[in-house]
């Protein structure tokens, strides 16, 4: 399978990289690149406008990708799938589209990505909504009663991640959905880290809105999806309007098209959407259940090898089944950015360092950041062994202080 990913090809003068940063962005297989090139080469037309063969072909394939993504997410139908640039835009479509009233409330967790935080802070300024925060248990357990207590009479929306990009934990979305709907609120789910690794079943979970970014699931950048439950998209005002969003116009009036088209203004990213469809077909052939187990086995290999190492501190749940795709850690006495650069330049191992777009979580705990290794279907045991070799070399080269550092204490407290 690795041969399908050109970024993993052998390069003159260097080893094949151990790419352990898929939680940020996955690699792209040849099949996706070919689908995008085919559009520009063979039928570079505008969908939904002209009637010539180029336009007809791109329209057919564009809607085919919509149907594929609907099937993959087990959504209510292709008309429930809106193409956007990324999950950030999808969340903004919901947040800016709901008819808020001053005093309405939105509930989030204390571990959300900035994309699921900053928007609500802006809406708190105008029109004046209120933000409530559900604090998650450090060990990864979830308390449904705590969620129920956090939902107030004026809570209009609960907006949470399904899988955290910070430590890999997942929330029980079906249980959350039942609690939220029992209290007459709506549920928006950030599915960016979940959809690449596990079976999503929107028909079962009944989430009102579900956001994904294809660049985390073998697809191209600049292509995302907002999936809506039956009736949910109709309640939203479009974020952008113009060409392709209307049935007709006069100089004084217009009629919006039904979803999903009213949300897809202007010329679309046809190559990106066709590439997204190819990525979905690739994932379906492999099977997300197989990917999840593969992730977990690699994570278990790293976790076992570093278990008991006093200077390595894990963030998040201790069991790999509770965070199969992510190993987030700090190294006592070593800056996370220095560690990432050392692994890249010294061992050709690519990881991410920093606060992972969840600055609020780190700021509240006084943690300056951490290193995050994330696993996906193209990673091998050899990749994890190179990660381990790099970590062990750093620990040998940079002896830690005899006493626990301030960061070590803070990480321990966060767990």
Residue 371 forms beta bridges with which residues? 329, 353
**Biggest distance spanned by C-alpha atoms of the chain:** 76
Three-state DSSP class for 27?
coil
Alpha-carbon dihedral 79, 83, 89, 93, rounded to 10 degrees: -30
∠ CA 411-412-415, rounded to 5°: 90
- How far is C-alpha 257 from the chain's CA centre? 29
Closest CA to 96 of 241, 202, 231, 195: 241
DSSP H/E element including 91: helix 87-97
Three-state DSSP class for 360?
helix
Closest CA to 110 of 80, 90, 131, 130: 131
DSSP annotation of 100: -
Alpha-carbon distance of 37 to 388, in angstroms, equals 38
What's the distance, Cα to Cα, between the start and end of the chain in Å? 36
Alpha-carbon distance of 332 to 399, in angstroms, equals 9
Closest CA to 103 of 62, 76, 132, 81: 132
Alpha-carbon distance of 321 to 14, in angstroms, equals 34
Q: Which residues contact 403 (CB under 8 A, 6 or more apart)?
A: none
Three-state DSSP class for 373?
strand
The answer to whether the CB of 170 falls within 8 A of the CB of 190 is no
Encoded tokens for 74: 């087990």
Give the catalytic positions in this structure. Answer: 357
């Amino acid at each position: 399978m690795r041969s399908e990913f050109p970024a993993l090809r052998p390069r003159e003068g260097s080893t094949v990289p151990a790419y352990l940063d898929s939680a940020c962005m996955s690699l792209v297989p040849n099949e996706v690149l070919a689908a995008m090139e085919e559009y520009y080469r063979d039928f570079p037309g505008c969908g939904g406008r002209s009637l010539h063969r180029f336009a007809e072909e791109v329209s057919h394939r564009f809607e085919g990708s919509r149907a594929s993504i609907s099937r993959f997410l087990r959504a209510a139908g292709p008309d429930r799938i809106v193409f956007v640039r990324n999950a950030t835009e999808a969340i903004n479509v919901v947040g800016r589209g709901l008819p808020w009233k001053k005093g309405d409330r939105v509930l989030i967790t204390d571990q959300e990505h900035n994309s699921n935080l900053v928007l609500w802070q802006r809406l708190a300024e105008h029109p004046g909504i209120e933000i409530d925060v559900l604090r998650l248990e450090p060990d990864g357990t979830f308390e449904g009663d705590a969620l129920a207590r956090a939902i107030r009479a004026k809570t209009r929306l609960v907006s949470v991640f399904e899988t955290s990009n910070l430590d890999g934990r997942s929330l029980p979305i079906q249980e959350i959905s039942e609690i939220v709907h029992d209290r007459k609120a709506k549920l928006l789910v950030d599915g960016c880290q979940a959809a690449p690794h596990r079976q999503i079943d929107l028909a079962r979970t009944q989430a009102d809105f579900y956001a994904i970014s294809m660049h985390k699931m073998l697809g191209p950048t600049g292509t995302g999806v907002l999936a809506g439950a039956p009736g949910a998209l109709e309640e939203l005002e479009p974020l952008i309007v113009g060409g392709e969003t209307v049935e007709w116009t006069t100089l004084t009036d217009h009629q919006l098209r039904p979803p999903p088209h009213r949300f897809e203004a202007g010329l679309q990213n046809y190559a990106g959407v066709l590439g997204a469809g190819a990525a979905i077909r690739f994932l379906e052939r492999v099977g997300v259940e197989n990917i999840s187990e593969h992730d977990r086995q690699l994570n278990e290999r790293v976790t076992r090898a570093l278990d008991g190492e006093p200077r390595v501190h894990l963030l998040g749940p201790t069991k790999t089944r509770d965070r199969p795709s992510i190993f987030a850690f700090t190294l006592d006495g070593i800056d996370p950015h220095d560690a990432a650069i050392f692994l890249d330049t010294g061992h050709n191992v690519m990881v991410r360092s920093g606060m992972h777009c969840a600055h609020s979580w780190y700021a509240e705990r006084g943690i300056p950041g951490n290193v995050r290794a994330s696993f996906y279907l193209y990673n091998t045991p050899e990749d994890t062994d190179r990660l381990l070799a790099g970590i062990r070399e750093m620990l040998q080269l940079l002896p830690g202080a005899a006493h626990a550092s301030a960061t070590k204490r803070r990480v321990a407290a966060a767990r």
